[in-house]
Structure 1
Amino acid sequence: MFDRERWGEIWQTLSRNKLRSFLTAFGVGWGIFMLILMLGAGNGLSNGVAGAFEGWASNACYVWAQTTSLPYKGLPRGRSFDFDNDDIALIGKRVKGIEALAPRLQLGGWRGGNNVVRGNKTAALTVNGDLPSIMRIQGTYVEEGRFLHERDVLEKRKVCVVGRRAVQLLYEPDEKVLGSWIRINGVYFQVVGVHMPKASAEMGNDQTAVIYVPFSTFQTAFNALNQVHWFAITAQPGTPASQVQADVKKLLAVKHRVHPDDDLAFGSFNVEEMFDMTNDLLTAITALAWFVGICTLIAGVVGVSNIMLVVIRERTNEIGVRRSIGATPGRITAQIVLEALTLTLIAGYSGLLLGMLLLEAVSSSGLEGAFFAKPEIDLVTALVALAVLVVSGVLAGLFPARRALAIRVVDALRADK
């Protein structure tokens, strides 16, 4: 295998026609280069999506009240209704498979007017009335201070947790945020924390421009007594979020006298379904990358095999001489396979290296977006690519070798005569 004379002969054979060897190797190198590039891009998309929704519960669903579209029990269509505090306990008691339940109230939001004031600065920000359990559902972490506590809710404390964008709009760069006071719709709240979203993508309003206040405080401070705007819910492991969502809608339809077939009375959003669709899409993209890359690589390997057939035709007499002086079929086969394997591995490894260098350059250049980050391949993928190269190289030499052995010794010796 590591006979110096044999490897010298292989190198001599490949360098006999440098242009032909280069063009053949280019096909293989381009194939593995494209394979690595597409797999890396697929991983970059996967990493980007994972970062875009980091921290968001993948088994969550959201339910809110809309307007009825069907009359029911003497009530007309087009009726508006609101969730209330009783619904919180009702859902927690009657719906099975719930892991976390977080009612929410909201003030301001997209296209809202200036509703938050500090000194001579004003800003239009989203104000959410939440329970501490929202942290288990929504991708947010506390950058400074703390988040809402259960005692804040029980005692209806006028405290808030502000987003980083809110800090930029309401404070000077060197001002202390924690412990300061802001006015929301005329009501003063003390800032106890600063939050930042974990996810790079926005689901709804800009999460850095959100202010969290205790749910109970929101109800009393902003005249929203016995109101709930919507529910955020996560399902227990093994329970589909779609099932929990359907059960909640069914229960609330009975409670608020909504027709069982009125699909427009409740709005909902299922994060689990979105995650499943995204995962299916990423799987399809990865499969497509492997398919296109392997097909391109096969085209290059076929080129190697064809070139080896040409080489064998040129060396027919040489093969005949070797067989006449006792060279075994196995040795001749090994020689041809090694030549094809060497050409394939050199070209493939070059393509692999160039592909990884390009991915590293893109990753270090900062050319990333909300749904694209760190295009890279892992060690397993690289090893699989090398294994594909080895198998391809062996196959590229095996068929020409069988063709060489099929030539009779007498015909081979007469080939140049």
Structure 2
Amino acid sequence: MLDVDRWQEIWGTLRRNRLRAALTACGVFWGVFMLIVMLGFGHGLSEGVRRGMAGFASNSMYVWPQRTSMPHDGLAPGRFVRLTLDDAAAVRAGVRGIRVVAPRNELGGGRRGAANVRRGGKTGSFRVAGEIAEIELIQPVVLERGRFLNPLDLAERRKVVVIGAAAREQLFAPGEDPIGASIELRGAYFMVVGVFRSPQTGDEAERHNTTLFVPLTTYARVFGTGEQVGNFAILAQEGVQSSRVEADVLALLGRRHHVHPADRQAFGSFNADREMRKVAGLFDAINLVIWFVGVVTLIAGVIGVSNIMLIVVKERTREIGVRKAVGATPASIIAQIVQESTALTAVAGGLGLMFGVTVLELVGTTMDSLPPGKQPSMFSRPEVDITIALAAVGVLVVFGALAGVLPARHAVNISPVEALRAD
């Protein structure tokens, strides 16, 4: 049963020593508060980076041509390698484990300038990408209206375009439906068939949302690129290591373009799976550091509670002696000391949890109130798993109880005669 008298006695003891109790609780409070805040901000950073990479399929890779750095087959170094549609067909046929090979071209990237786009009296400068329909599997988009490119668009070289959300805002009036409207790209007219937005955040999302997708075959005819392409986007099959596919693709392209096998400068590449693994490893290390710092801080707070309880026992030596002399059992004395340390730890830990969650909520609310363009690009709303938080406080309370065991055993060992002689 709940011993009300004992709890009143514990509360009276803490109230008589307010400053000491507050300073002791401060260490526990700060440990829980810091752990909750660090976990929340760590989650926000991790989620922000994950959202920043949401526009890439995890088993995708990108390959683009550069200049050779080594002579080979009688060719001097410094050659610029040029990729073609035949290279894409060779990669698709010659490398196992590939699901999609998407040859690509673009205006507004690399050596070409951005395309001036006109609609009525409105103009803008945007990136124009020549793509195949399967690029949506590699770089997912969220369609807001209409549709994406399809195989018929490429087969018939249709002059259709899918525009990003930011491009729509610049070229069309608010509330105006862009589907079916025509826009001018360097003297050629294209019909808008879809509007999309990027699932990513930050600068990459802004770049994606100002992109216009046109069929690759139409791009080649309108802008005169012929068989030449700027880069390949490649999607590996499920269960296939993208690093192995990447190595095979680079080796095949090297043979086709007379590149020395040891030349690492002739082609550039980006492997989404490898980069995501690096990011995951980084955040595993960050979480480990967060837990280490938080736990060490909590242990320091618990040790502080134990030391203070030793001082309390010493101050109450005469009282403990009197209680033992009139028949108090060792169990009752131990229970009182342990309950006092547990109460102090539980209250301080609960306050630390409450203040930590409040800070995270305030930061999250502030971030939510910011306009989309002003929100941090690589940081999401900080949150903490409440189950983990409550479990941490529960473990802390257990350690708080253990912190009172040593002072309690010291109190039990006090001789009533010696206690009554104490000043």
Q: TM-score, normalised by structure 2?
A: 0.92
Moved more, 242-251 or 105-114: 105-114
Query: C-alpha offsets along residues 87-120 of structure 1, whole Å, 9 cap, x if unaligned?
Result: 2222122212223322211122378255322234
Counterpart for residue 106 of structure 1? 106
Offset of 1:365 from its aligned partner? Answer: 1.6
Aligned-residue Cα RMSD (Å) equals 2.0
Counterpart for residue 166 of structure 1? 167
Query: C-alpha offsets along residues 319-347 of structure 1, whole Å, 9 cap, x if unaligned?
Result: 22333344333332222111000001011
Query: C-alpha offsets along residues 263-303 of structure 1, whole Å, 9 cap, x if unaligned?
Result: 11101112222212222222222222222222222222222
Write the letter of the residue equivalent to 2:254. Answer: A
Counterpart for residue 56 of structure 2? 56
Alignment of 1:154-303 (within 5 A): 154-203=155-204, 206-303=207-304
Counterpart for residue 349 of structure 1? 350
Counterpart for residue 126 of structure 1? 127
Write the letter of the residue equivalent to 2:230. Answer: H
Contact map agreement 1:179 1:192 (CA 8 A) in 2: yes
C-alpha distance in 1 between matches for 2:416 and 2:239: 69
Query: C-alpha offsets along residues 391-411 of structure 1, whole Å, 9 cap, x if unaligned?
Result: 221122112112223333432
Counterpart for residue 393 of structure 2? 386
Counterpart for residue 20 of structure 1? 20
Write the letter of the residue equivalent to 2:173. Answer: E
SS at 2:57's partner residue?
Answer: coil
Alignment of 1:348-387 (within 5 A): 348-366=349-367, 368-387=375-394
C-alpha distance in 1 between matches for 2:339 and 2:320: 15
Write the letter of the residue equivalent to 1:391. Answer: V
Write the letter of the residue equivalent to 2:39. Answer: L
Contact map agreement 1:109 1:125 (CA 8 A) in 2: no
Contact map agreement 1:25 1:347 (CA 8 A) in 2: yes
Offset of 1:163 from its aligned partner? Answer: 1.1
Moved more, 286-295 or 336-345: 286-295
Write the letter of the residue equivalent to 2:333. Answer: I
SS at 2:229's partner residue?
Answer: coil
Verify: 1:403 aligned to 2:410, yes or no. Answer: yes
Alignment of 1:28-107 (within 5 A): 28-107=28-107
Write the letter of the residue equivalent to 1:103. Answer: P
C-alpha distance in 1 between matches for 2:14 and 2:175: 69
C-alpha distance in 2 between matches for 1:268 and 1:375: 33
Write the letter of the residue equivalent to 2:96. Answer: K
Moved more, 343-352 or 74-83: 74-83
Aligned residues: 416
Verify: 1:8 aligned to 2:8, yes or no. Answer: yes
Write the letter of the residue equivalent to 2:215. Answer: P
Offset of 1:239 from its aligned partner? Answer: 2.9
C-alpha distance in 2 between matches for 1:30 and 1:157: 64
Contact map agreement 2:143 2:195 (CA 8 A) in 1: yes
Contact map agreement 1:67 1:264 (CA 8 A) in 2: yes
Offset of 1:364 from its aligned partner? Answer: 1.0
Offset of 1:413 from its aligned partner? Answer: 3.3
| Identity within the alignment, % | 49
Counterpart for residue 339 of structure 1? 340
Offset of 1:205 from its aligned partner? Answer: 7.2
Contact map agreement 2:107 2:115 (CA 8 A) in 1: no
C-alpha distance in 1 between matches for 2:37 and 2:80: 53
Query: C-alpha offsets along residues 136-192 of structure 1, whole Å, 9 cap, x if unaligned?
Result: 111421111111112111222111101122223323335431111112222221110
Offset of 1:204 from its aligned partner? Answer: 8.9
Runs of 5+ in structure 2 lacking a partner?
none
C-alpha distance in 1 between matches for 2:396 and 2:380: 28
Verify: 1:413 aligned to 2:420, yes or no. Answer: yes
Query: C-alpha offsets along residues 170-229 of structure 1, whole Å, 9 cap, x if unaligned?
Result: 233354311111122222211101111110133497111100011222122221221221
